[in-house]
Structure 1
Amino acid sequence: MVEPRQGVALYVRVSTEEQAEYGYSIDAQLDTLRTFCKLHGKTITDEYVERGVSGTTIEGRPELLRMLHDAERGNFSELLVWRINRLSRKQLDLMQIMKQLEQLGVGFESFTEKFDTSSPMGKFALQMMGAVGELERNTIVENVKSGMKQRARRGQWNGGIVLGYETTQLKASGNRRERVTTLEVVPEEAAIVRRIFEMYGTSGLGLKAIANRLNHEGHRTKKGNPFSVYGVSEILRNPLYVGKIRYNVRENWAEKRRKGINKHPIIADGEHQPIVSQELWDQVQALYDKKSGRPPRVFQGSFPLTGLLRCPQCGSGMVAHRVKDTLKDGAVVYRRSYVCGAFRNKGSAVCKSNGVRADEAEQAVFDRLKEAVVRPNVLRDVVDRVNARRSASSKPLASELKSVEKELEQLNGRKERWYRLYEEDGMERDMLVGRLNELKAQGERLEARRSELRAELATQNDAPPVPRAVVKATLTHFHRLLQNAPPEQQKALLHLLVKRIEVKGRSVGAIELTLDERLQETF
């Protein structure tokens, strides 16, 4: 274990909702902690600032991850926070963080809650505070969900970006956290939505054909992206367009993601104007349900390189493609290949097929990995390329970090100029407040990006060059496993070792490997 260097690290966090509702301010937290350190003769080694970041998970907080990484490097001997729930509102995460700090010999202190976390009673108090924080968080989440469900039952829109409509704020209620919004039809977008329903319901076009036609005509989604099969499907199945409000389709998104499907979502008559008629909606739904029945899968082949092969034209991941072919003697064969995922999902307006025969591509990858084990010059080239790539990858990150920090300095200078205009030239206060809010939002985005860049650079700078002996041992074990593994395990193994595979023309090009510590330990 690295001996921590003397000094105090400050960690502060605030979510957008907390700052709006309770007045938690990043600057106020920092000023309080800095003053505390000055009064007690503590030297601050670094400050970890998370603006507008929820405390739900550890993974989504780059500054917390950077702080833990720096603790492992021994950059500070004590961590100071304003309140314990700034570290986490989930008791399990809080206990894991505290255990990690304790194992690293890093002390912990909360400005608001005064107790010694190294004593048995202090640890008990910490656990109680963690439980209270998690209860508080769960209560807030439940209250917010309850309010949004009630709004949906009244036919009110709970927010979001949707093609065909624009969200308009009508008024602000007495509770600052609640905004009254409505949906206004955007005529140009509504025409695209109606056309999608008509192409599917009356013209007989399928999802890919619709996406392909829209993309060829230059139409784009609400976010400015090409239409995809999934996007067209979502539009056709959304009752919003027939005047309904649908809510709570998925539950516990943070934990379950797309798997948390609610079989009984809220569907109520909305306050907004429908875009398609009830007759067309019913016709489309009946046709969609009729087509959605999946036929039994006849072909059971595997595609271990799915997602690893990269389209030579657009760089998208290449996906599985099967073609049924009947020979002269009547025998049926299935030919496997990999095609561009963007072409498969969005049509020829976005990219071409750029197909690669699956058998040839897979054999080429397996032979290339085997060759790296048995030929010293190939192995040496692999190791040199991996280390050179790891070294070079930090340069653009460092350059971007320098640019972001320069923008933040310029932002502070612009704030000062606006203050001077207000004081010296009599600028209206509302104009000043509006401009400062814009600059504040821009600053928060820049600071969030700075945190991400610092965390990535810290990880890369600490990574030593990969030894050749380690690479050889890893590839040797990997090749043995790959030869004896069933198809589904072959795919998992390849995705563990290979980062991406370039395609040149109709054959396999460069193979980029991932040789990190986690992989080395696995093999």
Structure 2
Amino acid sequence: MDADVDLPDLRDDDPRWVRCAVYTRQSVKRLGDDPAVTSCAIQRTLCTEFIRSKTWEFWYPIAERFDDEGESGATLERPGLTKLLRRIEGGDIHRVIVYRVDRLTRKLADLARLASHFERHRVGLTIVHGNIDADAGSLAGLQVNMLATFAEWEREIIRERIADTRGAIKARGERSAGRVPLGYRTDPATKQLVIDEGAAAAVRWLFTGASKGTTTNDLAKKANKKKLAGKTWSARAVLRLLTNQTYAGHRPDGAPGRHAPLVSAELFSKVQALIDGRRTRAPTKPSERDADEQKAIELFNPFVLRGLITCGTCGKTMTPSMSEAVTLNLVKRLRRKPNAVPRFYRCRTAGCAGQVPAFESEQMVRDALEHAPESWSAEDKAKLATYAAAFDLMWPINQKRVFGACCAAVVWNRKRDGLDIELIPHSALVDDDGPSGPLTP
């Protein structure tokens, strides 16, 4: 029990005690914040004071904290909330106290799910701001649902406002978000790119070498030998840097940017010409394909683990070893036999290069769908079994969606040359519309 709260003179095992758990959430966790004055700390203080006012009803706050700092209210996958739900399932909590309903969730569907969970374990919910007990009758339930609806609406308004702001910033040629390219840093005041002279020398060295005809593979070897910029380089990484229009003063879409170029336009153009001259074939752009070709690639692309399988050594996503053009020819000729031609998922990290057969890897994940963990609920097991039963009848695009929805992680373990597969129960998904929306008919 909380020693700072004056409690009635009752035995600890008296059934009249109401064990209250305070849950707090803060969307953004800022470095350097004083832990005593964060949003979570203020919420906890207000909730504890409210519980103190209910001492005459034998309420008291338990000492354990359930805080989520830097966590979005758009998902239920939060450490503090997960810990709270486990304690509720253990029968250790009688009532959950939150300052506002949007601290608990910003989605009406998630609120309904949580309310059902609380009701199943006979746990009450109190919202301090408004002094609402969600379990105090139909009117209180209506109030809570209205608050949750407005919280979800507010979240959508914030998202639209951010999108509009980023659009306006982009229209001015300014940077709104994204990774900072090597050779630049962000201005703390304007958040725009400014040249970092220390790292810029490494970028200019690569461009100068490329302009003299040195291949990306040789540049990568030389860069690794001199430990350029303290990074490990591969030919692909060098090529990605040399073709980045940011260094010529442009935005990714080719429009002029507001930042200073790191190399001259003449040097950048010369390097691009040399790179294009070494290509063995012209790159195929989606705009150059007809609608049937594009649809074939999207629907029948056999790489159903693309974007999901990662390397257990470096942690990076493994990529298919076939080009889209080869894939297109494959699906055109074989359609229902996409494994007649060898396919692989490959780790492109320098010093970590390795590949796994695509068909065998996909079959291992497919087999995993038939073995749900024993700890899962009957509903989650049944849902996974439904996907497994229909999997072989699905088009590749739908198989890819099922893998994405059912697998939290697919990791290639190089030491044992196998896959570590972590499944995720359907009930843990944020949305209930299935794997990434409706399946393609």
| Band the TM-score falls in, shorter-chain normalisation | 0.5 to 0.7
* CA–CA separation in structure 1 for the residues paired with 2:84 and 2:342: 48
Q: Is 1:277 matched up with 2:264?
A: yes
Q: Secondary structure at the match of 1:101?
A: helix
* CA–CA separation in structure 2 for the residues paired with 1:26 and 1:514: 32
Residue aligning to 1:28: 42
Q: TM-score, normalised by structure 1?
A: 0.52
Report matched runs for 1:62-81 at 5 Å.
62-81=79-98
* CA–CA separation in structure 1 for the residues paired with 2:133 and 2:310: 54
Measured after TM superposition, the shift of residue 209 of structure 1 is 6.5
- Are the counterparts in 2 of residues 91 and 131 from structure 1 also a CA contact under 8 Å? yes
Report matched runs for 1:345-424 at 5 Å.
345-346=348-349, 349-353=350-354
* CA–CA separation in structure 2 for the residues paired with 1:480 and 1:127: 38
Residue aligning to 1:55: 73
Q: Is 1:243 matched up with 2:287?
A: no
Residue aligning to 1:187: 197
Alignment RMSD: 5.5
Q: Secondary structure at the match of 2:65?
A: strand
Residue aligning to 1:456: none
Report matched runs for 1:71-470 at 5 Å.
71-118=88-135, 119-158=137-176, 161-169=180-188, 179-197=189-207, 203=213, 205=215, 214-220=223-229, 226=233, 229=236, 232-233=239-240, 236-238=243-245, 240-244=246-250, 246=251, 267-270=255-258, 272-282=259-269, 291-293=282-284, 321=321, 336=342, 338=344, 341-342=346-347, 345-346=348-349, 349-353=350-354
Report matched runs for 1:439-518 at 5 Å.
502=413
Measured after TM superposition, the shift of residue 162 of structure 1 is 2.6
* CA–CA separation in structure 1 for the residues paired with 2:234 and 2:107: 39
Residues 475-515 of structure 1 show CA distances to partners (whole Å, capped at 9, x for unaligned) of xx999999x779959999999799666556xxx75676768
Residue aligning to 2:14: none
Residue aligning to 2:60: 43
Aligned partner letter, 2:283: S
Q: In structure 2, do the counterparts of structure 1 residues 517 and 146 end up closer, same or farther at CA, with 3 Å as the change threshold?
A: closer
Measured after TM superposition, the shift of residue 30 of structure 1 is 1.2
- Are the counterparts in 2 of residues 303 and 358 from structure 1 also a CA contact under 8 Å? yes
* CA–CA separation in structure 2 for the residues paired with 1:40 and 1:92: 30
Q: Is 1:11 matched up with 2:23?
A: yes
Q: Secondary structure at the match of 2:342?
A: strand
Higher relative contact order (CA 8 A, sep 6+): 1
- Are the counterparts in 2 of residues 304 and 487 from structure 1 also a CA contact under 8 Å? no
* CA–CA separation in structure 1 for the residues paired with 2:314 and 2:38: 45
Identical amino acids, percent of aligned pairs: 22
Q: In structure 2, do the counterparts of structure 1 residues 225 and 49 end up closer, same or farther at CA, with 3 Å as the change threshold?
A: farther
Q: TM-score, normalised by structure 2?
A: 0.60
- Are the counterparts in 2 of residues 211 and 232 from structure 1 also a CA contact under 8 Å? no
Residues 98-137 of structure 1 show CA distances to partners (whole Å, capped at 9, x for unaligned) of 3432343321111112234233322222222223223333
- Are the counterparts in 2 of residues 310 and 502 from structure 1 also a CA contact under 8 Å? no
Residues 78-113 of structure 1 show CA distances to partners (whole Å, capped at 9, x for unaligned) of 110011111123333334333432343321111112
Measured after TM superposition, the shift of residue 357 of structure 1 is 7.3
Q: Secondary structure at the match of 1:109?
A: strand
* CA–CA separation in structure 2 for the residues paired with 1:215 and 1:193: 14
Q: Secondary structure at the match of 1:70?
A: helix
Residues 262-284 of structure 1 show CA distances to partners (whole Å, capped at 9, x for unaligned) of xxx794541x3211222344455
- Are the counterparts in 2 of residues 12 and 26 from structure 1 also a CA contact under 8 Å? yes
Aligned partner letter, 1:167: T
- Are the counterparts in 2 of residues 154 and 268 from structure 1 also a CA contact under 8 Å? no
* CA–CA separation in structure 2 for the residues paired with 1:509 and 1:501: 7
- Are the counterparts in 1 of residues 310 and 410 from structure 2 also a CA contact under 8 Å? no
Aligned partner letter, 2:236: V
Aligned partner letter, 1:27: A
* CA–CA separation in structure 2 for the residues paired with 1:503 and 1:58: 33
Contiguous gaps of at least 5 residues in structure 2:
1-16, 294-299, 327-339, 377-385, 428-441
Residues 395-449 of structure 1 show CA distances to partners (whole Å, capped at 9, x for unaligned) of xxxxxxxxxxxxxxxxxxxxxxxxxxxxxxxxxxxxxxxxxxxxxxxxxxxxxxx
- Are the counterparts in 2 of residues 84 and 113 from structure 1 also a CA contact under 8 Å? no
Measured after TM superposition, the shift of residue 64 of structure 1 is 1.9
Q: Secondary structure at the match of 2:190?
A: strand
The count of corresponding residues between Structure 1 and Structure 2 is: 365
* CA–CA separation in structure 2 for the residues paired with 1:65 and 1:308: 25
Q: In structure 2, do the counterparts of structure 1 residues 37 and 167 end up closer, same or farther at CA, with 3 Å as the change threshold?
A: same
- Are the counterparts in 2 of residues 12 and 30 from structure 1 also a CA contact under 8 Å? yes
